[in-house]
Amino acid sequence: MDINELKTKFKKIFGRDGAAVFFAPGRANLIGEHTDYNGGYVFPCALTFGTYLIASKRHDSKVNFYSVNFENEGVISADLNDIKKENRWADYPKGVLETFKQAGHIINTGFDALYFGDVPNGAGLSSSASIEVVTAVMINDFYNFGCSLIELAKIGQKAENNFVGMNCGIMDQFASAMGKKDNAILLDCNTLEYSYCPIALNGISILIANTNYNHKLTGSQYNTRRSQCEEALKLVQSRFKVNYLCQLKPSDLPKAEDLVKDETLIKRMRHAVTENARTLEAVALLKKGDIEGFGKLMDASHASLKNDYEVTGPALDAMAQALQGCDGVLGARMMGGGFGGCCIALVKNEFLEEVQQKAGREYEAALKIKPAFYIAQIGAGARKL
Ligand code: GLA
């Protein structure tokens, strides 16, 4: 759906024109998985697809949300002073609204808002973060709050943590808010210091393979992983002066493992610490032009997410294995929270077609599900259009 069609839709649903259009992208993550809430590094980039939002302010205290992606849900309405969670898609924008209010921002009048996302839902490409960030950008603009994009990313994360109940880290909202065309972001999730890294992959493309496998327990498993990391951290803090697991170096692991003792917690900690080191090493290799080396670390990242963090599952494992076995693939790994969603791979352009055919066939034979493939284009971050 293009913007003109969305404007027509807005008029049909709300009986007047939309005043402004906003966009926030979904994200891919090249490497650095489950490190963000462990105070480590991530290396995501914004995609060219994401969530569009058309909105107009109202004169009363009503807020109305409509999504072209969930048309059967109709308009979801609430009063500004009585925002409740309903376990529906509108919890994301409602959470953002509530988070602004809790931060002391005064919102006296409501708005009508129509959303359209071209990020596949539930694919691990951060459709939810793009809804949060685009809502935050709209509210910031309409009510002149003057928040920076990083503040808006934090509001999105808080909304998801406290209102939706998913204890995600900052990576997705940060990438959506701060993305830059043709660049990935090396983000230190402990300090939020970041730098852009141009991604000029000569003759190589970023292929995203959607397993089309949705795992219902992703949220609860995610929160469990996060609390296991917190438990491991408490145990190592008896000897190490660290605030986050990723402040440990791989060489600290033998001592740290003695302190943690529990086999499961040791595995979770080992993933966080080694993945953080892999991320820094991978970015250093990329800067030297060693894409092959970068790809090998992507494979190692998947292995660690499978064996130590145990967040891959049959679909992501089958897809990563199929991709890794193809000629022309430099590296492949699962991406995002895990259990379902997408893998990401670096593929030599001349093999792109063949890889999609071969990996697609093998995956479908194993899972009996048809996958989907996208060639990722790295786009800019959230903005008013
Ligand atoms: C999800 C979360 C992120 C991050 C990834 C795993 O996408 O929203 O904060 O933790 O999982 O790296």
Q: Give the residue, out of 172, 268, 278, with the most ligand 1 atoms within 8 A of its beta carbon, to mutate for a pocket test.
A: 172
As a whole number of angstroms, the distance between CA 69 and CA 337 comes to 22
Residue 106 burial class via C-beta count within 10 angstroms: exposed 0-12, middle 13-18, buried 19 and up: exposed
**Which protein residue's CA is at the shortest distance from atom 11 of ligand 1?**
337
Stretch 231-237: mean pLDDT = 98
* Residue 187 CB–ligand 1 contact under 6 Å: no
Nearest to 73 by CA among 59, 93, 56, 55: 93
Yes or no: say if 123 and 342 are a contact pair by the CB < 8 Å rule.
Answer: yes
Using CA of residue 302, residue 308, residue 311, residue 313, what is the dihedral sign? positive
Say yes or no to pLDDT of 30 above 90.
yes
* Residue 333 CB–ligand 1 contact under 6 Å: no
Pairing of strands 44-57, 20-29: antiparallel
* Helix (H) / strand (E) containing 64: strand 62-67
* Residue 169 CB–ligand 1 contact under 6 Å: yes
Active site residues: 172
* Residue 26 CB–ligand 1 contact under 6 Å: no
Query: Which backbone phi and psi does 300 adopt, to 5 degrees?
Result: -65, -35
As a whole number of angstroms, the distance between CA 192 and CA 343 comes to 26
Stretch 40-55: mean pLDDT = 97
Ligand 1 centre and the CA of 221: distance in Å?
12
Mean pLDDT of the chain: 96
pLDDT at position 217: 58
* Residue 132 CB–ligand 1 contact under 6 Å: no
Ligand 1 centre and the CA of 17: distance in Å?
36
**Which protein residue's CA is at the shortest distance from atom 2 of ligand 1?**
168
- Indicate the domain borders of the chain: 3-198
Ligand 1 centre and the CA of 18: distance in Å?
33
Position in ligand 1 atom list of the atom nearest CA 171: 9
Position in ligand 1 atom list of the atom nearest CA 129: 8
pLDDT at position 110: 98
pLDDT at position 258: 98
Q: Give the residue, out of 27, 35, 36, 227, with the most ligand 1 atoms within 8 A of its beta carbon, to mutate for a pocket test.
A: 36
* Residue 34 CB–ligand 1 contact under 6 Å: yes
Ligand 1 centre and the CA of 90: distance in Å?
20
* Residue 275 CB–ligand 1 contact under 6 Å: no
As a whole number of angstroms, the distance between CA 26 and CA 94 comes to 19
- Where residue 201 falls among pLDDT bands split at 50, 70, 90? confident
Say yes or no to pLDDT of 119 above 70.
yes
Position in ligand 1 atom list of the atom nearest CA 42: 12
* Residue 340 CB–ligand 1 contact under 6 Å: no
As a whole number of angstroms, the distance between CA 237 and CA 272 comes to 16
Question: Poorest-confidence range of 42-51, 198-207, 262-271?
Answer: 198-207
Tens digit of pLDDT for each residue in 132-175? 999 999 999 999 999 999 999 999 999 999 999 999 999 999 99
Position in ligand 1 atom list of the atom nearest CA 33: 12
Stretch 356-360: mean pLDDT = 98
As a whole number of angstroms, the distance between CA 170 and CA 190 comes to 10
Classify 3-198 by CATH class.
Answer: alpha beta
As a whole number of angstroms, the distance between CA 200 and CA 140 comes to 33
As a whole number of angstroms, the distance between CA 342 and CA 352 comes to 17
- CA-based end-to-end distance of the chain: 15
Stretch 196-220: mean pLDDT = 87
pLDDT at position 11: 97
Say yes or no to pLDDT of 230 above 70.
yes
Tens digit of pLDDT for each residue in 288-328? 999 999 999 999 999 999 999 999 999 999 999 999 999 99
**Which protein residue's CA is at the shortest distance from atom 8 of ligand 1?**
168
* Residue 168 CB–ligand 1 contact under 6 Å: yes
- Where residue 1 falls among pLDDT bands split at 50, 70, 90? confident
As a whole number of angstroms, the distance between CA 243 and CA 80 comes to 37
Position in ligand 1 atom list of the atom nearest CA 128: 8
* Residue 336 CB–ligand 1 contact under 6 Å: yes
